[in-house]
Structure 1
Amino acid sequence: MSPHLPGPRLRPYTPADRNAVLALVDDDRMGGEPASTPAMLDEALQGRSSVDAGWWAELEPPEAVVAEDADGVVVGALSYAPRLKDDTGQLLWLHCREDTRTADALIRRTLAAFGAREVHAFGFASALSPGLEALPVRHRPTTAKALERAGFTGQRLGRYMLAALPVEGLPRLPDVRVGPEPGDRQAWRLEAHQGRRVVAEAVVGSPVQGTGVLRWLGVLPDLRGRGLGRAMLGNALGVLSGCGAHTVVLYVDDDASAGDERDRTAAISLYESVGFAEMDRLYSYSRPRAPGTGGMPAPEAP
């Protein structure tokens, strides 16, 4: 596209844009992600999400903007909101079929809305991408480059991994209790007990359109290396299969160096050994406050 052509026209989202925006979101889907629905879009537009709900509750009501081409066709959309507690702006989601001109225009609109304030992008999951807390940079390289051109710096958060269900041959722990995850009506918590002690736990997201999410799996530090993680994984995947899932995705933290207590090297090896494949790397982004502009004081610790 010639750089001399005018950019897209930006305007506020209206209900008439619903189908066009859903199509934009679906064009950005990766393997394992469920198709977006009107209910998902409505949740996102209202500033709600079952995943990362506490972070969404800290935001002011979000704004949604669409981009139109010269023929009036919607070619991009984004949503952003201020967070008053730290005086930052949050770019919540953006979809533009990886068109450079549209991505640049939408990001400029976000920065204009927040002036000199610090701005964060793709920091937590929206209702349009359940569980996906950051930008998959290999799948969406144009959006990543547009953020960098606008002065954002990326931080690697994790890996997006995918496996088919059922996974055969995994051991299972005998005394595992399954119940609702507190504060999340769409997830289940598994706890493995040895006597009164919880020795391993996992959290799984209820399947959506046949895809479940492994949100968390952990073993007590003094019991690691004994096969409890593999067995607990068997229990977690068994729950998802029993709920009708035929695919499972997971997001593995991958921002800690070897030897750090948050190092996930062993966990990634476990997941790969049972058939999970890496689909992408996940990054969040931040752009610092303009120098010399001050800002609200940091909140006091409770």
Structure 2
Amino acid sequence: MLELVEGDRLPGRPAVTEEVFGQVLAGCHPGDAALSLRPEPRTDVAVADGGEVVGAAGWAVGTQGEGLLLWLHCLEDDQQIAQVLVRHGVEQAGRRTVRAFGRPTAMSFAGLAVRNRRGSTVALEAAGFSREEGWSYLHCRLDELQRPPYEVVDITESPDPYGWYVRLREKDGTSIGKAVVSRPVEGTAVLEWIILTPQEDRTGHLLLRQCLAHLADRGIRELVVLLEAPTDPSASQDLVAELHRQAGFQEVDQLHPYTRRP
């Protein structure tokens, strides 16, 4: 099963270990003080005639009584596997509203990677699920960035294991921005949010690149950021997305939750 999960891993995400996968099977969710499911989640497994595991999905019932497709991994080049798993879960949910990929798990962000997970995307839509607004998944290789000539960043580690607080400043100490970065795992991290002082000469992307270069000096090789993305893939990108692209980020995929109403 871990091989199927690894095949769906996006650039900039750490590998899923047996321990992490165990947390997923138990229904643990990042930031939850207590399990927010009822009853405990179940796992459906698809097995080929020869006994090989070719797919699996995690299902649960939320506190509001809705069905939840928490995660699904399968051989994406055979979308029939995903269709079997999705249809079986929908049948078990009965006349409940079912929400798919609507919350993060211990191994992934919320949302289905609709480009890389084409088989699962087709299976959901064929079963009557509708795509909702999600997130643009941007990735940047920090080890390829040129180092800035002077220090413009102060980094303070949070007392909890969450991450780093980053302050950006001019050489004279003037504040030019701040950011929060998750604590690195295997050289990868998530840019949770960043605020930059508006630059009249539109050089904000240079400030962001300086921040990224200093993060690279502290052992982060890859950085990921999630930006809001509309359901319409043809919609124009906003200035925030353009800022990140100019700084070296590239969109790898879009993550979208899905909903099916009875």
TM-score if structure 2 supplies the norm length?
0.82
C-alpha spacing 1:165/1:106, structure 2 compared with 1 (3 Å): same
Distance in 2, Cα, partners of 1:112 & 1:55: 31
**1:119 shift after superposition:** 0.9
Q: Which residue of 2 aligns with 1:64?
A: 43
C-alpha spacing 1:108/1:282, structure 2 compared with 1 (3 Å): same
Q: Which residue of 2 aligns with 1:163?
A: 140
C-alpha spacing 1:204/1:75, structure 2 compared with 1 (3 Å): same
Q: In structure 2, which of residues 98, 123, 138 is the aligned counterpart of residue 146 of structure 1?
A: 123
**1:77 shift after superposition:** 0.8
Show structure 1 runs of 5+ residues with no match: 1-20, 258-262, 291-302
Distance in 2, Cα, partners of 1:77 & 1:29: 15
Q: Secondary structure at the match of 2:183?
A: strand
C-alpha spacing 1:30/1:193, structure 2 compared with 1 (3 Å): closer
Matched, 1:178 2:152: no
Q: Which residue of 2 aligns with 1:37?
A: 17
TM-score if structure 1 supplies the norm length?
0.72
Q: Which residue of 2 aligns with 1:134?
A: 111
Distance in 2, Cα, partners of 1:104 & 1:211: 33
Q: In structure 1, which of residues 253, 267, 273 is the aligned counterpart of residue 228 of structure 2?
A: 253
Q: Deviations over 1:23-74 (max 9, x none)?
A: 1101112222222111110111122233xx2498422332122111111111
Matched, 1:208 2:185: yes
Q: Secondary structure at the match of 1:207?
A: coil
Q: Secondary structure at the match of 2:257?
A: strand
**1:251 shift after superposition:** 1.5
Distance in 1, Cα, partners of 2:60 & 2:207: 38
Letter in 2 for 1:145: V
Q: Deviations over 1:199-234 (max 9, x none)?
A: 743221222222222122234xxx534579546635
Letter in 1 for 2:245: E
Matched, 1:276 2:255: no
Matched, 1:91 2:69: yes
C-alpha spacing 1:161/1:41, structure 2 compared with 1 (3 Å): same
- Equivalences for residues 75-90 of structure 1 within 5 A: 75-84=54-63, 86-90=64-68
**1:171 shift after superposition:** 8.7
Could you say what the CA RMSD is over the residues aligned between the two structures, in angstroms?
Answer: 3.1
Matched, 1:224 2:203: no
Matched, 1:287 2:232: no
Distance in 1, Cα, partners of 2:34 & 2:260: 20
**1:235 shift after superposition:** 6.2
Q: Secondary structure at the match of 1:208?
A: coil
C-alpha spacing 1:236/1:45, structure 2 compared with 1 (3 Å): farther
**1:242 shift after superposition:** 3.7
Distance in 1, Cα, partners of 2:159 & 2:207: 16
Does structure 1 conserve the Cα–Cα contact (< 8 Å) formed by 2:13 and 2:188?
yes
**Alignment length, in residue pairs?**
252
Q: Which residue of 2 aligns with 1:23?
A: 3
C-alpha spacing 1:164/1:199, structure 2 compared with 1 (3 Å): closer
